[in-house]
Amino acid sequence: MPKRYSYITVDVFTDRAFAGNPLAVVTDASGLTPEQMQAIAAEFNYSESTFVLPPEDPSHTARVRIFTRQNEIPFAGHPNVGTAFVLGLLAERSGKTIGSPVVFEEGAGLVPVDLTRDTERRVTGATLTAPQPLTVGKTIPAAIVAECVGLEPTAVLTSRHEPISASVGLPFVIAEVADDALGAARPDARAFSDAARRFPLGTGRFSVHLYARPAGRKGQADLRARMFSPLGGTVEDPATGSANGALVALLASLEPAADAALAFNVLQGAEMGRPSLLAVSAEKRGGSIVRVRVGGRCTPVMEGALTV
C-alpha cells in the first residue's frame, strides 16, 4: 500500500526565496529503497536531495543519504546545511530543542553541523565542518580546463597554483580565472567528457570549480565562484559548499606559514540569477589543514508529501 513521505524544500546560502541553491529534504525516509530515493531525487530535479533516516549510532542525530539527479554521493555542502536547518525548523515548530552541533552519518563519514540562530533564537541557517581532511590530487593543464569552460587558456591564472583536484569529501578541479573571464565561462560537455577520460577523479564525473578575486571588493564577497559538472547532471550549480570548502582549504595550504587561518565570503550563482553567499573558513596547524567550515543562511520555500 502506498505511503506518504513529508518533504520540505529550502533555498540554501540565501536569506530570500528563489535565490541560493534549492534542496529537497525528505524528513523521514524510513521504508524507502535506494532505487526509490534515486527516483524521487530525479523527480525533484534539484542538484541534490536528501533523505533523513534514523542514525546507526543513537548518539548521532541522523543518517543522511544524498542523491543527485543521477546517483548517490558521499558528501555535499548545501545538502548538509539545508538538512540541518530543516531539522532545526521542525524542532522549533514542535516546541522541542535540538542539540547543536547536529551530527550526520554519511558516506564520507560523520558531518557535524552547527545551527545558527537570530537574536530571538530562531534557526536561520547552519555551518558544517568538512568530514575529511584536505586531499590534493593531480594538476590539470590550464588549456584543458579552459577548453572545458569555453575560455582562452590565458584566462586561467596559474601564478598561485595550477588547476588541481582537491577534496574535503568530494573532489573538484579548482582553477583561478581572471575576474573579467568568470562571467564568460560556458561549459562544453564534449570537452568535459574528454577531460574525464584523460584525468579521472575516481567519481565518474569531472567537476570544475572556477574562482576569481574581484578587482574591487563587490558587496559582501571576497571571492566569486562558478561550478560546472555536466557529467554529473548539473550543468552549473548555484552554490557548492563542498567545492568552496576545498577551495579555501587549498588556499590555506598554500600559505607559507605553518599556522594560518583564512576566511572568505564567496559569491556564487549570480550568473544564474540565484545569488548565493557562502561563509567559508580553513585552519592550518603545523603545516596541515585541521578544520574546514562552510555556512550560510537558509530560507524555507515549499512543503508537501510524496505518495510512494
Residues tagged active-site: 48
Q: CB-side exposure of 244: number of CA atoms within 13 Å?
A: 35
Element containing residue 25 per DSSP (H, E):
strand 21-26
Tell me how far apart the alpha carbons of residues 168 and 145 are, in angstroms, rounded to a whole number.
Answer: 21
Q: CB-side exposure of 248: number of CA atoms within 13 Å?
A: 30
Tell me how far apart the alpha carbons of residues 143 and 146 are, in angstroms, rounded to a whole number.
Answer: 5
Q: CB-side exposure of 201: number of CA atoms within 13 Å?
A: 28
**Residue 170 burial (C-beta neighbours within 10 Å; 0-12, 13-18, 19+):** buried
Phi, psi for residue 176 in degrees, rounded to 5: -90, 140
Contact 289, 283 (CB under 8 A): yes
Tell me how far apart the alpha carbons of residues 270 and 203 are, in angstroms, rounded to a whole number.
Answer: 27
Instruction: Report the SS3 class of residue 254.
Output: coil
Phi, psi for residue 194 in degrees, rounded to 5: -65, -45
C-alpha cell at 92: 522549533
**Distances 274 to 12, 17, 23, 80, 116 between C-alpha atoms, Å:** 10, 10, 13, 19, 22
